[in-house]
Amino acid sequence: MRHIDPSTRGRARAALLLALFATGCAGAAHQSTDPDGEGDAADDSFVTGANVKADVAGIEDGSAAACAVLKLASTASLEVLDDDASLNARTAKAIYKARVGLDGQPDTADDVWFDTLAALDHVKYVGPKAFKQLLAHTAASDVSCGQVQVQLLATNDFHGNLKPPAGSSGRINTGVAPNLNPVDAGGAEFLATHVKRLEATNPNTLVVAAGDIVGATPLLSALFHDEPTVESMNLIGLDVASVGNHEFDEGADELLRMQGGGCHPEEGCQDGDDFAGANWNYLSANVIDDATGDTLLPPYEIRRFGMARVAFIGMTLEGTPLVTTPTGTAGLSFLDEADTVNALVPELKAQGVNAIVVLLHEGGLATGLYNECAGISGPLFDIVRHFDAAVDVVIAGHTNAAHICDIDGKLVTSAASFGRLITDIDLTVDEASGEVVAKTGANVIVTRDVDKAAEQTQLIARYDTIAAPLANRVVGRIGGDLLKLQNLAGQSNLGDVIADAQLAATRTSGQAVLAVMNPGGIRTDLPVAQVSGGEAPGELTYGEIFAVQPFSNVLVTISLTGAQILAALEQQWVAVPGAAEKVNILQVSANFSYTWDASKPIGTRIDAASVTLDGVALDPAATYRVTMNNFIADGGDGFSAFKAGTDRAAGSLDVDAFGAYIEANSSAAPFAPPTATRITRLN
């Protein structure tokens, strides 16, 4: 059973009721001088600032007795309160009326639970006699508080992979060496089945996600502005999620549409019906709307399991503006993750919530297998070490890592990407104290040897029918695998081809002489054996190449001096305090080459004398026309040197340039993957 406390729709009403309980008290509980013993009757007098414990004959908040009384008052029917607990009829009715909220119906969104003795004490007609009767009935009826088993099923970085991802993007390595004993994994049809099976093991289950559910998605989702992915997650039963950086790919307004629903403002409802939006709540405590000073979305959500409550804090990558198109984050501020979480801990504790889970869209790296914590590094772990000790679990994402770690007593998990893993987290929460007393986690592979979830199959088929004419169009042929995997110098053959394609698309229109591509924009492989729409092996469809570059970025050609190009090359390495450095090796067109030295300090790694264009040394004083996507042209991925470029000329979409290049170069024979020899690494 899943209770939201407070729910999104009932939050305002619940807060109003709780505020009404506390009015007139100036933040302090009251003590009644109460000859009739009923409380809040005509003969009562009030002593400001008195301790509520005196009203309840020594029952203390946080004790097992208090928890049992509050549980009884929060769950018993009117008949039990009136007849079995022998409360005065008006007292029983007052408790029941306060509990069921404004709609007067039990088990609805505006129900109020009594989490403190003060809250129950402020219900009309509740006095010492009522507390004694409730306490007596808890003993007689064996109503008590104990330990509740809560299961969290966590995922991250799904990126709209409704269909099973291809190549290495669709495998989990289970062996001790790379590519040893890989298991095919992922796909919404299989993910839904695994989630359902795991849910069946515990009625107190929530499905949660740590960001990037949408954005950078394959064509099947991207063509419809990711509405299919939201609908898929609704079917799976996602309960709560943090916002990732890719949720901002199309801006804050589009993110809010993903949450609240409605047709796309420009393209309408492409599938012929309305879009209802997400059934889950997106959370982001550290994203501030500059115009209002408020968080763009709710900072946290509290879920209830009996008297146990668990808070989920949503946290977005602080560096989102660095990895997202500037228009996507305009008007927003992204705050420090650790500082934001730590500032919320006292607020949650003031509400009596002591079990805290952070859904953090930030990650690190891990060299071990998917259930290990080996070779970890990166900003995630530094952030976790700065979290308040009250944080119990951190569910991470962003870097597509897979690990189960214990960091300073906190369970820190990540489930790779694309729905290939589910993290099964088991919490034992004490109802009386609200504390997590035990926690374990394990990543479960989303294998493809289970039955497909029929509702997911139907959803995929419906959107496939609409998208098929475009997605299954064959654009060319390849004679070998095109892979995003980089060699030791940082070069990949797929990156080479993309850079070559961008140069070819803009040599005439933009007078380009060089093209560069950021590796983070290359999302998946193109294996020669891949078949996605009935095409022959080696044939590439538009849907397949779109999956490689799903952002629909516009090619931009700009003028840069040789010195500015050299400055951009040095920005391929960024120091990260307390963690491994961040590396973004630009993929370059075939007419460009250079050497870099890994042993030298950041900022001095490029051998300027080795940098050549068309076999001629790069002249720092000369001006060159350089093509790239609009993301890095605007300084994305930390390439601020490109922002100095002048004389911008916009070109085609990057994916269209890629498709045209493959098509033009494979008409006579399959396209041959290039040899990665453009970049040389020393040391």
Torsion-angle region of 216 (φ positive above 0: left; ψ -120 to 50: alpha; else: beta): left
CA distance 340 to 126: 39
pLDDT of residue 529: 95
Instruction: Look at residue 293 and give its three-state secondary structure.
Output: coil
pLDDT of residue 234: 98
Q: In DSSP terms, which residues pair with 359 in a beta bridge? A: 314, 395
> How many other C-beta atoms can be found within 10 angstroms of the C-beta atom of residue 261?
15
Using CB atoms within 10 Å of the CB of residue 109, give its burial: 0 to 12 exposed, 13 to 18 middle, 19+ buried.
Answer: middle
Q: Give the torsion sign (CA, 80, 81, 83, 86).
A: positive
User: What are the Cα distances from residue 116, in Å, to 17, 66, 307?
Assistant: 14, 8, 11
User: What are the Cα distances from residue 255, in Å, to 80, 96, 264, 332?
Assistant: 46, 39, 11, 13
CA 481 vs. chain centroid, Å, equals 31
Whether the CB-CB separation of 221 and 214 falls below 8 Å is answered with: yes
249 Cβ neighbours under 8 A, 6+ residues apart: 215, 216, 324, 325, 328, 551
Q: In DSSP terms, which residues pair with 547 in a beta bridge? A: none
DSSP assignment of 178-225 equals TTSSEEEB--HHHHHHHHHHHHTT-SSEEEEEES-SSSS--HHHHTTT
pLDDT of residue 554: 86
> How many other C-beta atoms can be found within 10 angstroms of the C-beta atom of residue 640?
15
Residue whose token pair is 């929530």: 206
CA distance 525 to 266: 31
Q: Spell 337-365 as b/e; 16+ CB within 10 A means b.
A: bbebbbebbeebeebbbbbbbbbbbbbbb
> How many other C-beta atoms can be found within 10 angstroms of the C-beta atom of residue 83?
12
CA distance 362 to 117: 39
Both structure tokens of 409 = 């007593």
User: What are the Cα distances from residue 352, in Å, to 1, 309, 423, 552?
Assistant: 21, 9, 27, 47
406 membership: H or E segment, kind and range: strand 402-407
Structural domains present in the chain: 3-145 (no CATH), 149-445 (3.60.21.10), 474-682 (3.90.780.10)
pLDDT of residue 432: 95
Counting every residue, how long is the chain?
Answer: 683
Whether the CB-CB separation of 227 and 303 falls below 8 Å is answered with: no
pLDDT of residue 573: 96
pTM reported for the whole predicted model: 0.81
Helix axes 64-75, 89-100, angle to 10 degrees: 80
Across the chain, which has 683 residues, the per-10-residue mean pLDDT values are 40 36 34 46 38 60 92 96 95 96 89 92 92 94 96 97 88 79 95 98 98 92 95 98 95 97 92 92 98 98 97 96 85 98 98 97 93 94 97 96 97 97 98 97 98 98 92 95 96 98 95 96 94 93 93 91 98 84 95 97 97 98 96 91 93 93 96 93 95
Residue whose token pair is 């690990």: 403
Whether the CB-CB separation of 198 and 444 falls below 8 Å is answered with: yes
- Which amino acid is located at 629 in the chain? N
